[in-house]
């Protein structure tokens, strides 16, 4: 990651662009609800090459401005609840602290170029937040190092630190405590997206209300060693057989059509099929690149246009984009 020199601002009117990836949870093991409303997790994050982009530039006056372009841009909140504007606010507070010797940041224009489905279980909003942290750190010459950005990311959302880190990582706590997992063999995915999103809090609530849900504060089950072995060796069949998502039953209860989509993907020859995060996206693992292309073609034939996408992981975390 490029780090800015504190005090050395980019030229006036300059734009900074950053990108951050979508994620799939290869495992999502969920424990009992904590007193703060979050659930303790043991998860294995895997970043895929479906990027969200953020472009930021300083404004001379007025409030912050947020613009969204791309698919589903009309359903993205433009108010202060948007994680990009919250990232800007958090960095302003950081800039005001004694540890950061930077000029006080003014208002900013942020453009989100959406590519990740909204409320799809792929952490698109978290990718926006991670890209915004990187871009504004550069635009405002804050000079914050990666560790500090990861700490701030955890304040914005459980999945934001992973969007900064990328590749593969085990997430514990509420998902924000990360340990990188080295495994660079590519995995080839077909993502079955949905035109209507699922609310993450609603899926966790459904999980809590289901028979057999863990008691408050119960620890999550551990990540299967077979999955970790499969990831390290790059064996898609071993990985596919060990994909687990404890939120899957809750997502299927809220959206019974997803169970049928998952069954169709299994029947079409995927090595493994899993609901991504809290859904509704269904991630289908293929044996190799050609297998993924063939699986995508087969599944697209029975699906509405634009809902079947190819993706490959692991992908890098949030990064600055070169200016051409």
Interface with ligand C5P (CB under 6 A): 37-39, 41, 157-159, 174-175, 200-201, 204
Is 208 marked active-site? Answer: no
User: Which residue among 58, 159, 246, 298 is the active-site one?
Assistant: 159
Identity of the residue, 17 or 25, whose beta carbon is nearer to ligand C5P in the bound complex:
25
Rounded CA separation 202/209 (Å): 11
CB of 152: closest distance to ligand C5P in angstroms? 14
| Dihedral sign (CA 260, 290, 239, 191) | negative
Identity of the residue, 38 or 307, whose beta carbon is nearer to ligand C5P in the bound complex:
38
User: Which residue among 23, 51, 114, 246 is the active-site one?
Assistant: 23
Q: Which residue spans within 232-315 are E strands per DSSP? A: 244-245, 272-275, 282-286, 308-313
CB of 322: closest distance to ligand C5P in angstroms? 30
Identity of the residue, 53 or 200, whose beta carbon is nearer to ligand C5P in the bound complex:
200
Rg of the chain (C-alpha set): 20
CB of 173: closest distance to ligand C5P in angstroms? 8
Identity of the residue, 173 or 291, whose beta carbon is nearer to ligand C5P in the bound complex:
173
CB 203 within 8 A of CB 279: yes
Q: Report in angstroms the alpha-carbon separations of 140 from 43, 55, 221.
A: 34, 13, 42
CB of 225: closest distance to ligand C5P in angstroms? 23
CB 71 within 8 A of CB 114: yes
Is 114 marked active-site? Answer: no
Tokens, residue 311: 């993706």
- Which residues are part of the catalytic machinery? 23, 159
């Amino acid at each position: 990651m490029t780090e800015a020199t504190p005090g050395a601002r980019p030229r006036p009117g300059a734009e900074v662009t950053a990108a951050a990836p979508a994620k799939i949870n290869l495992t999502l093991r969920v424990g009992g609800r904590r007193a703060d409303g979050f659930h303790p997790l043991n998860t294995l994050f895997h970043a895929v090459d479906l990027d969200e982009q953020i472009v930021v530039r300083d404004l001379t006056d007025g409030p912050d401005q947020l613009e969204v372009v791309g698919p589903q841009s009309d359903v993205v909140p433009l108010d202060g609840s948007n994680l990009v504007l919250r990232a800007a606010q958090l960095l302003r507070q950081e800039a005001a602290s004694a540890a950061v010797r930077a000029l006080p940041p003014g208002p900013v224009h942020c453009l989100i170029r959406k590519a990740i489905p909204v409320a799809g279980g792929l952490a698109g909003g978290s990718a926006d937040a991670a890209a915004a942290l990187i871009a504004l750190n550069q635009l405002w010459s804050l000079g914050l190092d990666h560790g500090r950005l990861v700490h701030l990311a955890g304040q914005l959302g459980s999945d934001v630190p992973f969007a900064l880190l990328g590749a593969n990582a085990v997430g514990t706590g509420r998902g924000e405590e990360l340990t990188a997992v080295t495994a660079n063999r590519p995995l080839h995915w077909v993502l079955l997206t949905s035109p209507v999103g699922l609310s993450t809090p609603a899926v966790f609530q459904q999980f809590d209300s289901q028979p057999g849900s863990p008691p408050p504060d119960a620890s999550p089950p551990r990540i299967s060693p077979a999955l970790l072995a499969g990831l390290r060796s790059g064996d898609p069949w071993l990985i596919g057989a060990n994909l687990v998502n404890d939120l899957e039953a809750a997502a299927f209860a809220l959206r019974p059509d997803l169970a049928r989509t998952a069954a169709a993907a299994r029947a079409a020859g995927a090595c493994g099929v899993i609901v991504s995060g809290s859904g509704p996206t269904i991630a289908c693992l293929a044996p190799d690149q050609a297998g993924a292309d063939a699986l995508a073609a087969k599944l697209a034939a029975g699906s509405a246009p634009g809902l079947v996408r190819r993706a490959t992981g692991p992908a890098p975390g949030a990064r600055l984009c070169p200016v051409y």
